[in-house]
Amino acid sequence: QVQLVTSGGGLVQAGGSLRLSCSASGTIFSINAMGWYRQAPGKQRELVAVITDGGNTNYADSVKGRFTISRDNAKNTVYLQMNSLKPEDTAVYYCNADIRVHRFGSRDYWGQGTQVTVSS
């Protein structure tokens, strides 16, 4: 009933930029926090950035000052602007959202993931 569709990944040279988008659709009462995770080969999935419904943000130390998370509540969409990309940023990036389909509770939903590759 709820689907997150992620787009914007690709191949970019070190120092370049990409913008990821993730849009939620389906039966949605409201969306609480939305965030981005990434997983590199051989490593655990890690939180990159999160934004609450009130606009508060948190970032992993490794991306502070380079990445910016934002959301458009009218479009049920979260963005991740990635600047000054480094080879270490290479990973599959996943969108996550805490979504209420009714007024009584919420649960996490995940996007399909998009590959970001940064060449040196």
| 31 pLDDT more than 90 | yes
- Residue 68 is encoded by which pair of tokens? 């910016």
CB environment 39-78: b (16+ within 10 A), e (fewer): eeeeeeeeebbbbeeeeeeebeeebeeebbbebeeeebbb
pLDDT at residue number 7: 96
**Interval 100-110 mean pLDDT:** 91
Dihedral angle sign, alpha carbons of residues 63, 91, 99, 19: positive
**Residue found by looking up tokens 């939903």 in the block:** 109
| Mean predicted lDDT score pLDDT of the chain | 96
Residue 103 pLDDT > 90? no
**Could you give phi then psi for residue 22, rounded to 5 degrees?**
-145, 120
- Per-residue pLDDT, 102: 87
